[in-house]
Amino acid sequence: MKNYKVAVVGATGAVGLEMIKMLEDRNFPVENIKFLATERSVGKKLTYNGKQVPVGVLTKNSGKGIDVALFTAGSEISKKIAPFFANDGCFVIDNSSAWRMDKGVPLVVPEVNPKDLSKDKKIIANPNCSTIQMVVALKPLHDFAKIKRVIVSTYQSVSGAGQKGINELTEQAKAWAKDETLPQPNKFQYQIAFNLIPQIDIFTDNGYTKEEMKMTNETKKIMGGDNSIEVSATCVRVPIFRSHSESVWIETEKPLSPVQAKELLSKANGIQVLDEPESKKYPMPLFAENMQTTYVGRIRTDISTKNNALTFWIVADNLLKGAALNAVQIAETLVKNNIL
């Protein structure tokens, strides 16, 4: 098997560290690895397969000689630097929102639309964390019964806001435990400890947040550009460190029973059905943390309508399947399909 020269851009951040771990855990065929970040991280050393690797500074020439680069350095850097990597022949798998809705850039979840990858499309977008886990579950159901409409409410962990989000919840929870005055919110709009915030990202003119519109627009693009799927999302930040949860309602053209849905989901790649209400077995963020699986449970018929409708619950680790794992799986698919 051929080995590849790999770069992780934004290597010192929460997702960057998980990308490194996923490359190790999944034995991606690495010949040489390079860690890149901003100047303030230069001099740090990160461990890869037991070896210390120094962090280098990211420049527009850093992609020369690299086969595939995993970017998690934010939209501004990606927009500026990723084209230079691509022009040097490097495949860029970008975790930011910079390229997701660009018509010339594939937006890929390997279990859903691997055929969108090709040799001539060097920049590949990694979808939003909440979108990824939802479309993994939607795909087998859509193939069988054709989904017409999706209504989803998300319960998103603070790690979705990066290390600063994790730190803010930690500091507030520690202060509460000591009966001290809680630190003022900085990363979030309000106190996040023991609270829910029904706003992720800024509001748009239609009253939805950018996070909610990402779920709407990205789902349509990933599911084959099928604008017949209508999506309405409400995204909520919750005081959980890792793993996003989603309550999903779907309406389908064909009848789809809970038994059929469980069978379809059980056979799908990357999914584990955990649905035994009599034994109180259902997906929870506590058990999804650090797992590479998307969990689906609470599958039931919607009793409020005579239309073909189901509702279910999805949980996945947002730093893994929602970010780092999906990016590495895209790289694996490039190898598997002889694109890389």
Q: Are 158 and 168 in contact (CB under 8 A)?
A: yes
Most distant pair of Cα atoms in the chain: their distance: 62
Q: Are 215 and 204 in contact (CB under 8 A)?
A: no
Is there a catalytic annotation at residue 235?
no
Is there a catalytic annotation at residue 142?
no
Does residue 318 sit in helix, strand or coil?
coil
Measured between its terminal Cα atoms, the distance across the chain in Å is 12
* E strand map for 72-143: 91-94, 123-125
Does residue 94 sit in helix, strand or coil?
strand
Amino acid at 326: N
Catalytic one among 90, 142, 235, 244?
Answer: 244
- How many residues belong to the chain? 340
Long-range contacts of 25-30 (CB under 8 A, 24+ apart): 26/328, 26/332, 28/4, 28/328, 28/331, 28/332, 29/1, 29/2, 29/3, 29/4, 29/335, 30/3, 30/4, 30/5, 30/6
DSSP state string for 230-275: EEEEEEEE-S-SS-EEEEEEEEESS---HHHHHHHHHHSTTEEE--
Torsion region of 225: left, alpha or beta (phi above 0 gives left; psi -120 to 50 gives alpha): left
Closest CA to 298 of 269, 270, 277, 268: 277
Q: Are 148 and 230 in contact (CB under 8 A)?
A: yes
Q: Are 36 and 65 in contact (CB under 8 A)?
A: no
Q: Please compute, for residue 28, the number of CA atoms within 13 A of its CA located in the half-sphere on the CB side.
A: 29
Residue positions annotated with a catalytic role? 129, 244
